[in-house]
Structure 1
């Protein structure tokens, strides 16, 4: 049995110098949702109560002409082990396995960590202190993650991967402080808080009428592919949640930048404001609403994050203006339900939740003030008992 079919699926907008994984498929229906693909990692979430992966056979979709190979040196082979398939599956579930993707022109390579996560007990926690972070080894931006029962869950995403292009073309220094989304030692508790800052994207961004980048942080994934052509599709909001949320609470401070501008860098006569909200939606309904199997997705995007029919509840900060003091301010945001929720379906992970934070409320339309800063700490989702 061949455990992995190393295939390539043509993606029209991709260039032959790209070395990216754009999709993952399994012969059997074992995954709960679309793979979460970041710049150098692919996370695959198993459906609840899937325990036998002896027949797992996965196919990778790559950018045109690219090839992929297993980095066998990343495997920890027990002495005397003959069953390579079992070793790979065990490592996928434990630490992850590295694969190398090589571009069609053989000039570029990228190593991906592929990891499979069990979801029997849920994997989106209810409390976030933003203490667990990592630094991307290539582009040096901050990555937020959560530790649950000894496992690292990369549930948080941001626009940092696309901002690295701004730094590359503009001659900026790739270090954590250069990016819109990072950490701050000015924390409500512990040693870290999440700091989101609206920044200029330089001449390259202005050329595409995307002159600013708001600092953002959200539960889900970020796809760099459509950043220039359809940036609202780059944000993939939401991951499965097995509890019914009642309130989103936490602590924040916000200082808006001096001058709000639009996509043409023309002044806008208003004050900048931040945004903090959470969306609870019926993921099964969302996927069932799309008749074309190739277009089914398990996440919301910037196009429908606040208006899709699958949404059953939203909790949102009403006034995101400057906080009155230098200290942290507590917010308590009740989830406002517009549809009934079945407890059994929630427990079965049929629903997903997204938490979204931004230093400029209309930053997705490239309206905001450079220098606006939002600091958030000690988030908590209060759930139904």
Structure 2
């Protein structure tokens, strides 16, 4: 049934495309950066530069955050950009700039009627590159929804979620009604709130009737949100220490009716919290949303930590998840670790099978005061 819906929508869109080709082509009204690379290439700390981050009210621009290897000279770097057809950019793509502080770029559409401002920042990836204590107190607004971030000394982490995909289906929802939002009643202060939501008639039309609340370290690729949703969630960031344990507190209430295969069933929903450590030196810079359906395994996997006693509770309940290295039989190469050739992912979801669009609307997971223990 899902395939039928997707095919119907695809046929409709194809018809629109063919019709537009018959008419005289108008100048493009889009003003986007669609890809970014950096010269010299070998200074990059990660194979991927994300260009689809949501608008930042704080920066008054669309952010692009580039991570480079420790010791890189930030004063003479030349990012290059791919743009929507016909668009232009200022300063010029490939021009050399000092990125000791962010550099702002303006993209103008082919029809000259629209423009977007981007703030491009370059930071060194260091051995303590991300926060490891997560309070979930800090949010910024992107469109109608919240984006979580953590600040620990000089280091920051912006969490990713599927909120951008939900916005495609339910664009008028308030921030508190998105799948990934914030609650005032945490274990200590505010906390993360993940809720499995119905996506309404539009979501059902494209075979995506529910959206589980999720939060993860990585990126959400909005361009794949409708066509390849499992690939839209990309997990992982280079990490220079060996993770040992993930701890924190949670509350959980399952929704009343579980939705799967186009109908409601008697199945009970359950949440998921897991973390993993993998070797990125073979070209696998990130893992994707297919990880749970593949048994949390991958050829480059080194260790996994996953909650095994997930259950409903009205009281704040502690969890402590140990990273299992033994099951994968791979040691840690100290030199590769120092060079950032291992990556860390942390994923939380209000419905364990939410990536397959199965879960109970109303399932609610609260998480607070989480910490990654490492050595």
Q: TM-score normalized by structure 1?
A: 0.80
Q: Which moved more, 1:344-353 or 1:216-225?
A: 344-353
SS at match of 1:308: coil
Q: Give structure 1 stretches of 5+ with no counterpart.
A: 1-12, 72-83, 288-296
Matched residue, 1:47? 69
1:65 maps to 86
Question: Mapping of 1:153-302 within 5 angstroms?
Answer: 153-154=157-158, 156-168=159-171, 172-173=172-173, 175-189=174-188, 191-264=189-262, 266-285=263-282, 287=283, 298-302=285-289
2:149 to 133, 145, 150: 145
CA 1:204–1:263: 2 relative to 1, 3 Å: farther
TM-superposed deviation, 1:256: 0.6
SS in 2 for 1:32: coil
Deviation, 1:344, is 2.9
Unaligned 5+ segments in structure 2 are 1-13, 18-27, 55-61
Q: Please give the residue correspondences for 1:287-366 in structure 2 after superposition, counting only pairs within 5 Å.
A: 287=283, 298-304=285-291, 306-323=296-313, 326-337=314-325, 338=328, 339-366=330-357
Separation (CA, whole Å) in 1 of partners of 2:204 and 2:113: 29
Inter-CA distance 167–104: structure 2 relative to 1 (3 Å threshold): farther
Conserved? CA contact 2:196–2:359, under 8 Å:
yes
CA gap 1:218/1:260 in 2 versus in 1, 3 angstroms: same
Q: State the secondary structure of the residue aligned to 1:89.
A: coil
| Deviation, structure 1 residue 263 | 4.9
**Shift, 1:273, TM fit:** 0.5
Paired residue for 1:294?
none
The answer as to whether partners of 1:210 and 1:263 remain within 8 angstroms in 2 is no
Equivalent in the alignment of 2:118: 112
Distance 1:345 1:332 in 2: 27
CA distance in 1, matches of 2:111, 2:290: 35
The residue aligned with 1:134 is 140
Alpha-carbon distance in structure 2 between the residues aligned to 1:273 and 1:57: 47
Give the superposed CA RMSD. Answer: 2.3
* Alpha-carbon spacing, 1:56–1:371, altered in 2? closer, same or farther (3 Å): same
Q: Tell me by how many angstroms 1:380 deviates.
A: 1.0
Q: How far off its partner does 1:59 sit?
A: 0.5
Of 353, 364, 371, 2:362 maps to: 371
Distance 1:177 1:126 in 2: 26
Counterpart residue number, 1:76? none
Residues 224-258 of structure 1: per-residue CA shift (max 9 Å, x gap): 00111000111110111111111111101110100
Deviation at 1:318, TM superposition (A): 1.2
Asked if residue 26 in structure 1 is aligned to residue 16 in structure 2, the reply is no
Q: For the residues of structure 2 that align with 1:17 and 1:257, how far apart are their CA atoms?
A: 43
Instruction: Please give the secondary structure, in 2, of the residue aligned with 1:284.
Output: coil
Measure, in 2, the Cα distance between the counterparts of 1:250 and 1:238: 20
Q: Distance in 1 between matches of 2:348 and 2:112?
A: 39
TM-score for both structures, normalised by structure 2: 0.82
Deviations 1:256-307, CA, capped at 9 Å, x for gaps: 100001252x01331000000001001113x1xxxxxxxxx51111134722
